[in-house]
Amino acid sequence: MAEKVAKLGVSREKDFMYYVKDGGVWKVQRKQPGVPKGRPEKVADGGFQMDTNYIYFVDRDGDVARAKRAVGGQKRKKAGRGVAKKKKAPRTKAKKKVKAKGSGKKKAVAKKAKKRRR
């Protein structure tokens, strides 16, 4: 997966972050709340040319290693995959109710009026 580029044997300290830049290994103090930002310090010079097709890092042994860069990123999952989508029923036009003339309230009012007259 990764191939060693330079054997430096850098010993790591717990509170520092190590990275590779311009063929050398640098360290900077990790961010902590209430502590001001640390200044980078060069630890070792690897003496190698860096290629943009690879990513460079300090491995477990303190050596510089590189791995092929993933161009184009990682493939994304398609939306809704694995879940069956329900098909919607086609829309139909709602029918309007048409009231016949003289129905409804007028009839009810007429019945009440008849009862009162009696």
pTM: 0.55
pLDDT digits (tens, 9 = 90+) for 86-103: 677 788 877 777 666 656
Q: How far is CA 1 from CA 67, 72, 94, in A?
A: 6, 19, 64
For 66, other C-beta atoms within 10 Å of its C-beta total 20
Closest CA to 23 of 59, 68, 58, 53: 58
pLDDT digits (tens, 9 = 90+) for 45-87: 988 889 999 999 999 999 999 999 887 877 788 876 566 666 7
User: Where are the chain's structural domains?
Assistant: 3-68
